[in-house]
Structure 1
Amino acid sequence: MSLLFYSCNSQKKAQKKEAETHKVIQKKYADLLNVSTTEIKNVRLYAFIEEWTGTPYKYGGLSKSGIDCSGFCNVLYNQVYQKELPRTTKDIAKQLDKVKQSRLEEGDLVLFNIEGKKNAHVGVYLQNNMFVHASTSKGVIISSLENPYYKKAYNKGGKV
C-alpha cells in the first residue's frame, strides 16, 4: 500500500513541477515578446526554444554542438509540430504558401535575402514581429523583424 501511495505522490510532484516550469516559460517568453502570458499557448515551442537558445551556428550542423538556420527550423518542426521540412532554405521557399507579413502566425516560416542571395536565411515566426533562428554570428536567438537588418532582408513568410 505504501509503495502505491509513494508512486502516486511522486507522479503528482512531477506534474506540479512541470506546471511550474510551464508558467516560468510562459512568463519569460511573454515578457520577451511583449505579450500577455495567456498568449503563450504553445509551451512546447517555447520550451524547445529555451533548450536550443545559444546553440552556436555551424553550417550544415544539426545538433546542439552547432546548427545552421534551415537545420534549426527542420529540428524545431520535427520536434514541436511532428512535420518534416526540406533541408535547405531554397527548398523550403519552394514549398512555402506565402502569407502577408502582417498576417504571419506563430510557427510560420520567414525567409530572408542575405548578401544578394535570395532565400538565404530562414527562421520561425513567433509573435509580435519576433522570430527565432540560427544566426551566423550569435547562434540560436530571437530577433525582431523590425530590426533594420532583417527588415531590409525580409523576403517572404508563410506556411508549409
Structure 2
Amino acid sequence: MHETAPIAGSSTSTPARPRKARRTAATLVAALGLGLVPAVGTATAHAAPAATGTTSTSPVAAKATTTARTSLTVKRSTATTYEGRKGARLSIRLRNADAPVDGRVKIYDGRKLLRTLTAADRNDDGRLTLSYRLPKKLKVGKHTITLKFLPASSTDASTAKRTTKVRVRSEGDLVVRTAKRYVGTPYRYGGTTPRGFDCSGFTSYVYKKAGVAKLPRASSAQRGSGKVVSRKSARPGDLIWTPGHVAIYVGNGKQIDAPRPGKSIKVRSIWQSNPTFLRV
C-alpha cells in the first residue's frame, strides 16, 4: 500500500481566516441573535405604503365654544325714599352681543329675595330693559339691593351681577325736610301759606305738604292729634307743644317753628321748659 504524498504547499486542515473576517462573522451572529438582521429564509416585514392622496394626521380637537358675555347695568330713580311711600324705581339694562338675552333677573334686599323677573328679548337684538319699583315696606335704614342675571343657557350667555344702594328714611325725616324748605318765611298772624305762617299754621301746612297727616288749624286742637312720648324717646318730626305754641322737633335738642311777629321761621334750640312731645 502506497501513501499519497501531499501536494506541495497544501494542507488537509482548514486554513485560518483573517482577523477582519472573524470579526465580521461575530458581528453578524450577534445581529441575528438580536433580530436586527433577518435570518436566512425569513421574510422581512415592510409597512404598506400610504394610499395616494391621503395623509395620516392626529385628530384635531374641536374648537371650544366661547360663552357670550352679558352686561348688566342698573339705575335708580332716587337714592332716598321714605317709609310707607313709593320705593325707588330701578331701570335694569341687559346686553348680550352674540345672542338674544334669555333668562331671569333675581332682585335681593341683602339676602332676602324681593322679586324674580323674566328676561326674554323679543326683538332678538341682544338688548333688553326691565323696570322694577322697590316695595313700600322696606324698613328704615340703608339697603344694599343686589341684582343677578341667570341665563337660560350657559352656552349662550354669562351670568351677571350688580348692586345699588338706597336709604329709607322715616316719615318724621320727611316732615323735617319739608319744614326746612320754609326757613326765612316771615311770621304772620293767622298765616297758613308760604307767604307767611303763624305757629300752628306752619305745622299744619308742613304735615299736609309732607303727606303725613291733616292737623287741626289751632294749636290747642293739635295737642290731641298724636300720642304723647317722652323727651328722651322723641324723634325728628314729632310735634313740640306748649299752651299757645307748637313747633316741630328736628333732633339734637332743636326745633323749627314760626316764633312770633317780626321774626321768621328758623331752626333754634328748644326754649320751652316743660313741653309735650307728640307723635302724629
Shorter-normalised TM range: 0.5 to 0.7
Deviation sequence 1:118-142 (CA, Å, 0-9, x none): x210011111111111111422111
Q: Shift of residue 96 of structure 1?
A: 3.2
The within-5 A match list for 1:4-153 is 41=169, 44-112=174-242, 119-136=243-260, 137-145=262-270, 150-152=271-273
CA distance in 2, matches of 1:49, 1:142: 10
2:275 to 146, 155, 159: 155
After superposition, the CA RMSD in angstroms is 2.6
Letter in 2 for 1:144: S
CA distance in 2, matches of 1:94, 1:64: 25
Letter in 2 for 1:86: P
Judging by fraction of residues, say which structure has more helix: 1
Contact 2:174 2:237 in 1 (8 A): no
CA distance in 1, matches of 2:275, 2:181: 28
Contact 2:254 2:267 in 1 (8 A): yes
CA distance in 2, matches of 1:68, 1:127: 22
Ranked by relative contact order (alpha carbons within 8 Å, sequence separation 6 or more), the top structure is 1
CA distance in 1, matches of 2:191, 2:237: 21
Q: TM-score, normalised by structure 1?
A: 0.62
Q: Shift of residue 102 of structure 1?
A: 1.2
Q: How many residues align?
A: 116
Q: Shift of residue 68 of structure 1?
A: 0.6
CA distance in 1, matches of 2:207, 2:239: 10
Letter in 1 for 2:277: G
Judging by fraction of residues, say which structure has more strand: 2
CA distance in 1, matches of 2:225, 2:180: 28
Q: TM-score, normalised by structure 2?
A: 0.37
Q: Shift of residue 44 of structure 1?
A: 4.2
- After superposing on structure 2, the runs of 4+ consecutive aligned residues of structure 1 that deviate more than 6 Å are none
CA distance in 1, matches of 2:279, 2:177: 21
- 1:33 alignment counterpart: none
The verdict on how the C-alpha distance between 1:54 and 1:104 changes in structure 2, with shifts beyond 3 A counting, is same
CA distance in 2, matches of 1:46, 1:93: 19
Q: Which runs of 5+ in 1 are unaligned?
A: 1-11, 20-37, 113-118
Q: For 1:101, what is the secondary structure of its paired residue?
A: coil
Letter in 1 for 2:193: S
Letter in 2 for 1:156: T
Q: For 2:251, what is the secondary structure of its paired residue?
A: coil
Larger radius of gyration: 2
CA distance in 2, matches of 1:85, 1:108: 13
Q: Which runs of 5+ in 2 are unaligned?
A: 1-74, 80-141, 143-167
